[in-house]
Structure 1
Amino acid sequence: MTTDLTSALAGARILPVLTVPSEEMAAPLAAALVAGGAQCAEVTFRTAAAEQVVKAMAAHGGLVVGAGTVLTAEQVERAVAAGARFVVSPGWDDEVVAKCLELGVPVVPGIATATELMRALRAGLGTVKLFPAEQLGGLDTVRALAAPFPQARFVPTGGIGPDRLSEYLAEPSVLAVGGSWMAPGALLECGDHAEIRRLTAQAVERSTR
């Protein structure tokens, strides 16, 4: 992982995880997130418009935009071509990691076990996504993995809401927390950017406590 992304995540502490169904939603969403204080965003490759959304949000200039739910090397290529500055995968995939390393794009692989974490560290990847965090045991699992691997930094994602954000971020091994609660699908569909801005600002404020 490049120092730039590590610094960006460490500075942001929160990573909005976005599933955006149309390109038209991208620009106002980026503006709302930036207005709320977000510095990074992950656009999931779960929709047909994902590439266009990455491109449009990256064009805003106020966010470090990455691609999430990346499952194949081909998706890595498409994401990077669209302007993604980092790649997040829900699990470990040799081809995804190899393609990211080949292209020089930072990758945050998902892990759920010590075995997967060891594989990531062996590949030179010191920051990993614990996913799905809450379902895997939450902070207890973070602490259990951090004990034998103090060099690892975690971006827990999955089932975490605003009420537990401060608790997660107080853990020294947690670099940032990912979550979709700042821009849920219902708010995107109705275009409630004021509420997205409010939820983002609330998360940013809690991340500094």
Structure 2
Amino acid sequence: MTAGLAAVLAGSRLLPVLTVASAASAGPLADALAAGGARCAEVTFRTPDAERVVKAMVAHGALTVGAGTVLTAEQAERAVAAGSQFLVSPGLDDEVIAKAMELRVPVVPGVATASELMRALKAGFDTVKLFPAEPLGGTAMLRALAAPFPQARFVPTGGIGPDQLPAYLRHPSVLAVGGSWIATPGHLERGAYDEIRRLTAEAVERTAP
């Protein structure tokens, strides 16, 4: 599953986290993200239209699209049916993990403690979402968790902005960083796709070695 996730991310170290109210925004949003250099995106299952958004962004073809905020096995099944190529959960839920494995779709379970990380590693997952990264302590928390678990790889998400992005990426345990500042609900309400493209390009530039 970890190898599958690495293939899905295709070398991208930036994971835009998107909460999209309407599928009508999906096409222009995918255009803007791709034009800015993004390779993948996470569509959160926080809105009634999330499945249609996933379907539309997958059909667009420019991005590898996954589903985020997956809380239940039923959501995982619906997300995959909509075309999601990976799943992300804010926590470590056995039923979500089992369903993802049944569907043979890469999943990134969320952790916030050493105990949760140990459970994830024991279950065979060495790539996890550190969430909510900034409220937990930011890069200091990341370093504290990474030290006793050098085999773990992290996708920090939650409260991260462009100014914090480079510090996370410098840590060797970080596979990618999730961020919602790139395309907020406010951007989408205003139709600010040029701004989304600019923010994406700036973030992608910051991921360069």
Report the TM range for the smaller structure's normalisation: over 0.9
Q: Aligned partner of 1:49: which letter?
A: D
- Contact 2:8-2:85 at 8 Å conserved across structures: no
Unaligned 5+ segments in structure 1 are: none
Q: Tell me the SS of whatever aligns to 1:67.
A: strand
Give me the whole-angstrom Cα distance separating, in 2, the residues matched to 1:13 and 1:83: 22
Q: Which residue identity is paired with 2:132?
A: P
- In 1, the alpha carbon distance for the partners of 2:185 and 2:12 equals 22
Aligned residue in 2 for 1:102: 102
- Inter-partner Cα distance in structure 2 for 1:24 and 1:10: 27
> Is the Cα–Cα contact under 8 Å of residues 4 and 106 in structure 2 kept in the other structure?
no
Look up the equivalent residue of 1:64 and give its one-letter code.
T
4+ residue segments displaced more than 6 Å:
none
Partners of 1:36 and 1:190 lie apart in 2 by 18
Distance of 1:198 and 1:4 partners within structure 2? 30
C-alpha separation in 2, matches of 1:155 and 1:113: 14
1:113 has 2:113 as partner: yes
The alignment of Structure 1 onto Structure 2 pairs a total of residues equal to: 209
1:92-143, Cα deviation, whole Å (9 max, x unpaired): 1110011001110110011001111111111111110000000001111111
Preserved contact between residue 2 and residue 127 of structure 2 (Cα < 8 Å): no
Query: What is the SS of the residue equivalent to 2:149?
Result: coil
Which blocks of at least 5 consecutive residues in structure 2 are unaligned? none
Pairwise CA distance, 1:9? 3.1
Preserved contact between residue 86 and residue 105 of structure 2 (Cα < 8 Å): yes
Q: Determine helix, strand or coil for the equivalent of 2:11.
A: helix
Matches within 5 A, 1:1-209: 1-9=1-9, 11-209=11-209
Q: If the length of structure 2 is used for normalisation, what is the TM-score? A: 0.97
- TM-score, length basis structure 1: 0.97
- Give the AA of the match of 2:142: V
Stretch moving more, 193-202 or 140-149:
140-149
Q: Deviations over 1:30-88 (max 9, x none)?
A: 11100000011000000000000000001111111000000000000000000000000
